[in-house]
């Protein structure tokens, strides 16, 4: 685009369309900021309704829907690249040869799935009794997400218009390419607003629950370490096991009842992840406990048993600290503990133990729980040494008893 336009004119004035779009998007940013402010103040004032209603929200579903919207931003951008090549239509079947129209149709389909998903989610919430007028949560939730959905729908109409115009125009020129670019700006905006909602929500939760120890920008204070770069996995691990928010007492933070919903934990994790790169929340594929338990057992004995004991029953460490028992840890928690290395535990990154091997370890630990112990009464799975000692003392007792009995007889 640039090489062609420089031959036309020397001085570049921004086109009225671009200026108009920027001014308009600016006003949109303020509009959404106002909506979010409402959402947050309501949340701060009525935490009880909030906790109940967010628990109803179907989180994995919302996450998939978000991913679909993010993907549509990428496909729209590929459409823009094609428009900049002045290539409206595909020159072959492979997506590498797709033109603007094909990419925009794909973006349209993804956007339409997002809106349908949103409608479906509304239907679910209404059937659970959360409606626009049911309480302040309902109003704030439907207002923000509803206005957002309207904007997405507007973007869908714009995609159709651009596609239609391309078919109507005799040749695909700069004017057509410019409208494609403007629509893509709008589409990215709609996408960013959606992500921003998650991050800002997380930041708000963080400020009220975690900043006292970790600092306003998670930079760390005397009472808690910096969280910049610890990653979403660390926040998910610490909060979903009830370790955080920390309560200062004793050498090791206690595991307490979990204080946040899954949605809130993910929002805080998204906020911390936005501050610096770190391990992310693990992929479901590695949490199925469908690996090789024998290999997992071997890896566990080499890497983990010295602290957690061969059967995962836990054990004492120095200075009053301890490695906890692993018989209740969920596959996700086991994976996250390995990639984040809480406290005295070392980090086992993907170079040390690959994600597949982590799945093997998870498989082994889950297998241990499900299998009844072989060889008689289990002794709390305390490992061969303890079990050996107990049998040793037990047998010794019997031998002594027999000796005394024999001695008594001979007298
Ligand atoms: C009372 C103070 C306190 C509060 C409140 C608190 N934390 Fe912490 N946090 C700590 C301390 C101390 C540690 C270091 C713990 C350790 O080494 O065992 C820590 C560690 C962490 C870690 C692990 C960092 C790493 O290096 O991997 C994460 C993540 C974390 N906190 C998140 C949170 C979140 C999220 C909240 C709010 C929901 C929160 N914390 C609230 C004191 C606190
Ligand atoms: C140097 C000792 C050490 C080694 C080696 C070690 N851990 Fe840990 N692990 C700990 C400590 C200490 C904690 C508790 C941290 C805390 O409370 O903040 C812990 C916590 C955990 C937890 C969290 C338990 C829960 O449900 O809250 C899991 C899961 C875990 N470790 C798994 C593993 C696995 C799997 C390995 C081997 C790949 C391993 N650990 C190796 C010391 C160790």
**Residues near ligand 1 (Cβ within 6 A):** 209-210, 212-214, 223-225, 227, 230, 234-235, 238-239, 244-248, 253, 268, 340, 343
Nearest CA to ligand 2 atom 34: 304
CA distance 77 to 82: 9
What's the pLDDT at 4?
Answer: 47
Tokens of 114: 């997002």
What's the pLDDT at 247?
Answer: 73
Q: Specify if 245 maps to a domain.
A: yes
Beta strands in 83-239 (DSSP E): none
Ligand located closest to 218 CA: 1
Residue of 50 and 228 predicted with greater confidence? 228
Give the pLDDT confidence of 259-313 residue by residue, as tens digits.
787 777 888 888 888 888 888 888 888 888 889 999 999 999 999 998 898 887 7
Tokens of 331: 């596959």
Stretch 148-154: mean pLDDT:
88
CA of 268 to the centre of ligand 2 (A): 23
Question: Which domain does 86 fall in, by range?
Answer: 2-209
Residue 221 φ then ψ, to 5°: -140, -175
Q: Are residues 119 and 204 in the same domain?
A: yes
CA of 172 to the centre of ligand 2 (A): 61
CA distance 74 to 191: 10
CA distance 307 to 313: 10
Number of domains making up the chain: 2
CA of 325 to the centre of ligand 1 (A): 21
What's the pLDDT at 41?
Answer: 57
Q: Are residues 188 and 219 in the same domain?
A: no
Does pLDDT of 248 surpass 70? no
Report the length, in residues, of the chain. Answer: 411
What's the pLDDT at 101?
Answer: 93
Ligand located closest to 229 CA: 1
CA of 209 to the centre of ligand 1 (A): 10
Q: Are residues 266 and 190 in the same domain?
A: no
Tokens of 386: 């303890």
Task: Give the number of other Cβ atoms within 10 Å of residue 220's Cβ.
Answer: 14
* Residue 322 three-state SS: strand
Nearest CA to ligand 1 atom 25: 230
Nearest CA to ligand 1 atom 19: 224
CA of 225 to the centre of ligand 1 (A): 7
Q: Are residues 159 and 78 in the same domain?
A: yes
Beta-bridge partner residues of 224: 221
CA of 218 to the centre of ligand 1 (A): 10
Q: Specify if 12 maps to a domain.
A: yes
Reported confidence tier of residue 121, pLDDT bands at 50, 70, 90: confident
CB contact at 8 A, 76 and 121: no
Domain boundary among 153, 174, 209: 209
What's the pLDDT at 394?
Answer: 62
Q: Specify if 341 maps to a domain.
A: no
Q: Are residues 158 and 95 in the same domain?
A: yes
Q: Are residues 255 and 168 in the same domain?
A: no
Nearest to 154 by CA among 192, 118, 113, 111: 111
* H runs (alpha helix) in 46-99: 47-56, 59-84
Q: Are residues 229 and 247 in the same domain?
A: yes
User: Which of 219, 226, 245, 256 has the most ligand 1 atoms within 8 A of CB, as the residue to mutate?
Assistant: 245
CA distances to 65, 330, 346, 387, 411 from 312, rounded to whole Å, are 38, 13, 16, 15, 51
Nearest to 87 by CA among 96, 6, 22, 298: 96
CA distance 150 to 115: 9
Give the pLDDT confidence of 157-182 residue by residue, as tens digits.
999 999 998 888 888 888 888 889 88
CB contact at 8 A, 360 and 296: yes
Reported confidence tier of residue 134, pLDDT bands at 50, 70, 90: low
Beta-bridge partner residues of 316: 322
* CATH code of the domain in which 105 resides: 1.20.120.80
CA of 197 to the centre of ligand 1 (A): 24
Q: Are residues 93 and 164 in the same domain?
A: yes
What's the pLDDT at 357?
Answer: 95
Question: With a threshold of 0.85, does the pTM exceed it?
Answer: no
What's the pLDDT at 159?
Answer: 94
Q: Are residues 123 and 219 in the same domain?
A: no
CA distance 166 to 179: 10
Q: Specify if 382 maps to a domain.
A: no
CB contact at 8 A, 243 and 290: no
- Whether omega before 245 lies within 30 degrees of 0, making that bond cis, reads yes
CA of 262 to the centre of ligand 2 (A): 22
What's the pLDDT at 60?
Answer: 60
Asked whether 135 lines ligand 2 (CB < 6 A), one says no
Nearest CA to ligand 2 atom 21: 337
Q: Specify if 160 maps to a domain.
A: yes
Nearest to 355 by CA among 407, 259, 279, 408: 279
The residue whose two tokens read 């700069």 is 174
Q: Are residues 199 and 259 in the same domain?
A: no
Task: Give the number of other Cβ atoms within 10 Å of residue 144's Cβ.
Answer: 19
Q: Are residues 194 and 45 in the same domain?
A: yes
Between helix 47-56 and helix 16-45 the angle, nearest 10°, is 110
* Residue 316 three-state SS: strand
Nearest CA to ligand 1 atom 9: 224
Nearest CA to ligand 2 atom 42: 345
Q: Specify if 248 maps to a domain.
A: yes
CA of 344 to the centre of ligand 2 (A): 8
CA distance 310 to 301: 6
Q: Are residues 236 and 146 in the same domain?
A: no
CA distance 126 to 56: 11
Nearest CA to ligand 1 atom 38: 245
Domain boundary among 209, 232, 249: 209
CA distance 64 to 55: 17
Q: Specify if 21 maps to a domain.
A: yes
Asked whether 307 lines ligand 2 (CB < 6 A), one says yes
Q: Specify if 219 maps to a domain.
A: yes
What's the pLDDT at 358?
Answer: 95
The secondary element (H helix, E strand) that includes residue 323 is strand 322-323
Cα 122 from chain centre:
22
DSSP 8-state secondary structure symbol assigned to residue 260? S
CA distance 206 to 202: 6
Domain boundary among 152, 174, 209: 209
């Amino acid at each position: 685009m640039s090489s062609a336009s420089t031959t036309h004119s020397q001085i570049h004035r921004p086109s009225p369309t671009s200026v108009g779009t920027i001014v308009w998007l600016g006003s949109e940013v303020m509009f959404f900021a106002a909506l979010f402010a409402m959402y947050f103040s309501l949340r701060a004032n009525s935490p009880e309704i909030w906790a109940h209603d967010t628990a109803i929200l179907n989180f994995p579903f919302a996450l998939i829907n978000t991913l679909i919207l993010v993907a549509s931003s990428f496909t729209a951008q590929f459409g823009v690249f094609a428009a900049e090549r002045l290539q409206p239509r595909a020159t072959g079947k492979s997506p590498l040869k797709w033109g603007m129209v094909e990419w925009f149709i794909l973006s349209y389909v993804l956007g339409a799935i997002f809106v349908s998903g949103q409608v479906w989610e509304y239907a679910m919430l209404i059937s659970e009794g959360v409606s626009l007028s049911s309480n302040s949560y309902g109003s704030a939730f439907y207002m923000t997400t509803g206005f957002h959905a309207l904007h997405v729908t507007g973007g869908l109409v714009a995609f159709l218009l651009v596609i239609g115009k391309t078919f109507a125009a005799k040749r695909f020129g700069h004017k057509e390419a410019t409208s494609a670019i403007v629509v893509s700006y709008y589409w990215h905006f709609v996408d960013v607003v959606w992500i921003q909602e998650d991050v800002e929500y997380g930041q708000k939760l963080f400020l009220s629950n975690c900043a006292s120890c970790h600092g306003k920008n998670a930079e760390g204070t005397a009472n808690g370490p910096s969280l910049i770069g610890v990653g979403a996995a660390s926040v998910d691990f610490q909060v979903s096991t009830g370790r955080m928010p920390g309560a200062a007492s004793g050498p090791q933070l206690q595991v307490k009842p979990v204080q946040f919903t899954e949605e809130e934990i993910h929002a805080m994790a998204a906020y911390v992840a936005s501050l610096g790169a770190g391990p992310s929340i693990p992929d479901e594929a590695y949490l199925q406990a469908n690996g090789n338990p024998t290999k997992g057992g071997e890896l566990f004995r080499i890497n983990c048993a010295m602290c957690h004991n061969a059967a995962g029953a836990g054990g004492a460490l120095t200075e009053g600290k301890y490695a906890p028992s692993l018989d209740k840890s969920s596959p996700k928690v086991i994976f996250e503990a390995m990639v984040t290395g809480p406290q005295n535990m070392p980090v086992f990154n993907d170079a040390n133990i690959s994600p597949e091997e982590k799945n093997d370890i998870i498989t082994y630990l889950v297998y241990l729980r499900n299998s009844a112990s072989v060889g008689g009464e289990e002794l709390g799975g305390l490992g061969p040494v303890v079990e050996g000692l107990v049998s040793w003392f037990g047998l010794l007792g019997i031998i002594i008893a027999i000796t005394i009995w024999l001695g008594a007889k001979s007298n």
